[in-house]
Every structure is written in C-alpha cells, then in structure tokens.
Structure 1
Amino acid sequence: MQLGVTFPQTEIGADPGAIREYVQAAEGVGYKHLIAFDHVLGADITHRPGWQKYTSQHLFHEIFVLYGYLAAFSQLELVPAVLVLPQRQTALVAKQAAEIALLTAGKTRLGVGVGWNEVEFEALGVDFHQRGRLIDEQIEVLRLLWSQESVTYKGRFHTISQAGLNPLPPRHNIPIWIGGKSDIALRRVARLGDGWFPFPHKPNAEMQETLERLRNYTREAGRDPHAIGIEPRLEAAQYSFDELIEQVEGWQKLGATHITINTMNMGLKSPAEHIKTIMRFKETLDKG
C-alpha cells in the first residue's frame, strides 16, 4: 500500500521556500505521493449566514501551477484529489494534466469530482446543476485527447473538430480517479474510474459493504474489480497516532492500494509543524 501526504493547502502559506521544504521533507522520509485539494474561489461569507465550508479567507494554491513548480525538484507522484472537473474547460484540463504527466515522467493521477461549491460554478460560468452529466462526458473526452493525435467529437457538452494535444502524456494515458460517496459516484467509478477516493471514513463494516457494492457495480460494468485502486485519507486531527496506525492496518485488510495522511485542522501553526507531524507519523508507522 503506497503512503502519501495531503498537501496542507489552507495552512502552508504563500512562501515558495516553505512549500519546497515541506515537499522535500515528505519525500525524504519515504512518502511516495502528494495529493492536493482544488478550489478556484472561496465564498465571501459576509452575506451568507450559516456557510460551513471553505471561504474567501482560505488560501488555496492553483493546483496545476503548484504541481508544475513541485515537478522541478520532487520525484513524488503528484495527484490532484480532487479537481472539480465540471467547473473547468475539459480541453484545458487535458492539456494541463498532460504537461504535469510529462514533467513528472508519468508520475501522476488525475483525481476528479463533481464539486459542491455553487459559488465557484457561478463565477466560472458553468451550470451547477449539470455537473453530474457533464463530468461523465468530460472523462470520455479527456481520454480521447490523451490517446489520439487528432480528435473529432460531438457530444452534449463538447465539440472537437479534428484537433489534438501536443505533447501527449507518456503512455498516452493518465489514470483518472474519482472522489465521492454517493451511490451515483460509486457507479461512476465502476464504469469510468481507475480508482476511488473514499471521503474520510473508518475501515469498518459499513465501508466493507460499500466496497463490496463498488466491486459488484464494477463487475456489472464488465470490468475487473481488482483493477480499481482505493485511496482513503486519514484525518490526523481526529485520532491519536495509535488510532491512525490501526486505521492503516484496517484499510490494508480492506484492500486499499494507497493511503494518505492529512495534517490540516490539527491547530498546527507553521509549515515546520506540519513537517514534524508527517515525519513523526511515518516513523511511528515504520516502527509498527
């Protein structure tokens, strides 16, 4: 099971040197990949009472620009998890992801999801209520653009007339992993995904049932369930290190292929404290 870290988007700050130090520290102690969350805009909550999620006060680095920077000095696998795909132009995402794949010698996966922030969709000019139907077609178009030098396509949301990317990504493919916990999301993973990101969840009997449901959907789609990767995220803010180690063991038993630790929301005050925490977790895991 491959171990990675969640880039502390909202807490890392804006110092490129601190970002570099964090990533190099993660790589130096043996983490193999890095995931980062995606948001383009945050809502100003002055006139939005009760807003519970990310706001305009939360710092988010733009994910493809960030990964272009990291690829210059890191060998970590770089994984957007998840990119809010429906609010972005598909051909542009195909181009950006292909470039990250090129810069990392293929060490990337593209994690995608439908998103939840209607404020972002409005500002980016996309119908929030069409996002589920849109993402299915986007995944199809991404794979065409990555695999063919010239694409002609006519769908509900996309028209491409004899056009293509250059350069194409290594192996003419980028694995697409899908986030989400609804039954619709599970069926989308079964039909279209190379892997699934379960949102924070314990490796318990309920998750075992969910995974079996995913595997059944995958068989119904005519695909091999064992070809679908699974990557849960461990929330370090919610558990002791001993409990986190127990969760790692539990996920291994459930067949997870990757796992990531998230140190945001722990009350850590600096990038140095995030570094110290991921190093301590890795040392604890290695001893166990």
Structure 2
Amino acid sequence: MSGVKEIVLTFSCKDSKGLVAAVATLFATLGFNIKESSQFEDENSQRFFMRTVFECPPGYALGQIRQLFKPLGEQYQMDWNIFDTHDKPKILIAVSQWGHCLNNLLNSWRNGTLPVDIVGVVSNHEVMRDLVDWYKLPFHYLPVTAATKKEQEGQIFQLIENYQADCLVLARYMQILSDDLCRKLNGRAINIHHSFLPGFKGAKPYHQAYDRGVKLIGATAHYVTADLDEGPIIEQAVERVSHINSPDDMAEIGRDIEAVVLNRALRWHAEHRVLLNGSKTVVFSR
C-alpha cells in the first residue's frame, strides 16, 4: 500500500509531565519509528516545544495521521501541525535592485540543495528580469509609488493566492510592507535585514554602523511583522570590520553574509525547524 513515507510533527504547549511519553506511545502503537527528535522547555513561559521526524508504516495518508493525532493535541491544548517531508513549500520571492540573495536562493534551488519549490519572482524594478529568465521562472514587474502602494500590494497578494505560495521571501526587497499585508502573511513572510538586529534598524544600516565605528557587522533573517525590523528572528551572522572599511566596503562584505543567512533561514523554515515563541523563535537547526 502506498502512503506518506515520512512526516514531521511540530507542536508547542504548556509543559506537563508525561507529554513526550504520550506522543511517543501514540506513534509507537501505530507502528511509526522516530528518526529525529528535538525538544525545548522555555522556563520563563513554562512552554514546551518539540519537533519530531517519523518514518511511517505503509498505508497512512497525511490527513489520516492528523486525525489520529488530533485528540492528543486537544488533550494537551497544543499548537501543532504534521507535514509530509516530501512536500516542498511553494515560495514567491520579492526583490528590488540587489540580486545577491536572489541569486543564492535560485542557485541552491536549481541544485536541489534548498528544499523549496520557487514559483516566481516579483520586483518593483526590471533589473533582475534577465537573471530570473535564465532560471526559467516567471518574473512579475510591479512598480510602486506612494500613490499605488495599496494596489501594488494587492497584486502581490493575488500572486501569492494564484500560486498557492506558502511563503513570501523578501530577498532585499526595499519596500516596507503595509500593516494589512503583514497581518495577512503572519508567519509566512521572511525578510533579510542588512544589520545585526536589534541594532541599526531601518534605512542605510551600513552607514549607521560606520558612523558608530562598529567592529562587527551582520545580517538578520526574521519573520515580517507590522513593526519595522522587529519580527521574530530566525538566523543571524556577523563578520569583523575595522576603521579602514568604508560604508561601501561594509556593504560589500555584508552582501555575502546576507545571502548565507537568508538561505539558511529559508531552509530551516522549509524543514519546519522554526517554531514561534511569542516575539522570539525556537529554531531546531541541524
């Protein structure tokens, strides 16, 4: 019999004794085998987080597995989900005029090392059209002004709906999303910010860093919220600089960091390794 071969279970709930045992017992009784498991207890909130990969016995459909788990999820008041590991999330990428993050994502996707299905690219500039065409992906040019922002965001959201995209990735898309679109995409939009947040938010962070004489610059991938550059952080990295580096030098150094950090964050999101914990995240990275 055919069916789902491997699943990922993720959940969070109030911590309680016997919780892990109850989950393990349920799946063991059904003939599932644990392949990978990670847990974390937030002692401040007394909330428990878990991600487990199961090998499935023949014959189970994803919907059936979810129904079998539902009573346990209700018993412990879990925020939970179960995913088929072979289902790749559909990703729509937004970009403006810098293509380093976009090219990194497209190259990893083409090589099969990024477990996503990129369905298209949207941009408020034409600069990246040739790159996207080379990868044989749809390119959507949607220019925007202050007067047309609402209409343009409506077009972006319509693309997300049409493609049934699971996530919008802002790969140096240099437009601030409206509060309305942020709410619609809660937990489904990832941004790369070219600084080590919470420092140097907003525009020209490398110039801000230069003016402060910092010795480390960085990049931050985070979920998008209505509060600018305040969303839950998924991944960060830094690189050393010195007094001899100009803002342009810092931007050049930073571009490599940005590409790596965004790629890593999207990979972890696609593998269901990122669980929201209020204004923070729990990341079960490899």
- TM-score band by shorter chain is under 0.3
| Greater per-residue strand proportion | 2
| Greater per-residue helix proportion | 1
| Larger RCO (alpha carbons 8 Å, 6+ apart) | 1
